[in-house]
Amino acid sequence: MGAQIQGSVAIVTGANRGIGLAFVEELLRRGASKVYAGVRETESVGRVLNDAAVVPVRLDVTDADVVAQCAEQCGDVDIVVNNAGFHARDRLVLCSDPQAAHREMMVNYFGVLNMTRAFAPVLARQGGGAIVNVLSIAGAVPTAFMGGYSPAKAAALFLSTIARAELEPQGTSVTALIVGSVDTRMADHVEGSKEAPADIAAAGLRAMERGERTFDTDARAIRARARYALDPARYERSQAKALQVTTLRTT
């Protein structure tokens, strides 16, 4: 089983908007005693969260030294929500910025790795606790029109499995959330129905409490994984067509 939320102390990365903000609010609603809101600029937290139980902490997940300092400051944490993400909206091979994929990997993969390494000893001292990695359907199935974001999230999905195996002896659960399209700034260019961030946070925390290993948070994620599993070649052809349409719309 994963950690219980009532009375817990949590840290959420990328906590000042979107899914991260929703996780902070849901943790408080479910009875967390304290939530560290990890953000690049702590002033951004006060504008959206005015709660005595929220403690803003400066955090750049791509900087291992900053993350280590944060772990020292937040030594009472028993739930870690790795939510911070970055999508450059560029191609992977036929890209306009060759460094875009590097930045996506730094945030979406190495950021999760930095946080997991730094907070694993903290969680061990608290009796185990839980790690929740907010990933993407683009990390569960190859998504051509999401450039370097898709392989970075795929790497984080494998990281989740490996971290789970390494941390199991200390009692730490690791839950990887496969998230579909959500109504956030990152997905403002995506057409069609989108999930509310609050619904993703609620579903994700329930999965954590149950000790789920990998969990699809919404119907769109479930459908995409099912389509790919049934006919990978057809799915990949549809991705190529979608990529062509997207290219036409942006040129």
Q: Which of 58, 118, 108, 116 is nearest to 84 (CA)?
A: 108
149 is catalytic: yes
Could you give the C-alpha distances from 134 to 8, 137, 240, in angstroms and in order?
Answer: 19, 10, 26
Q: Pick the catalytic residue: 36, 149, 228, 235?
A: 149
Helix axes 197-210, 18-29, angle to 10 degrees: 60
Strand partners, 45: none
Structure tokens that stand for 34 in this block: 């304290």
Strand partners, 133: 82, 176
Decide: helix, strand or coil at residue 175.
strand
Angle at 225 between CA 19 and CA 200, to 5 degrees: 20
- Distance separating alpha carbons of residues 69 and 67, to the nearest angstrom: 5
The widest CA-to-CA distance across the chain, in whole angstroms, is: 54
Point out the residues that are catalytic.
Answer: 149
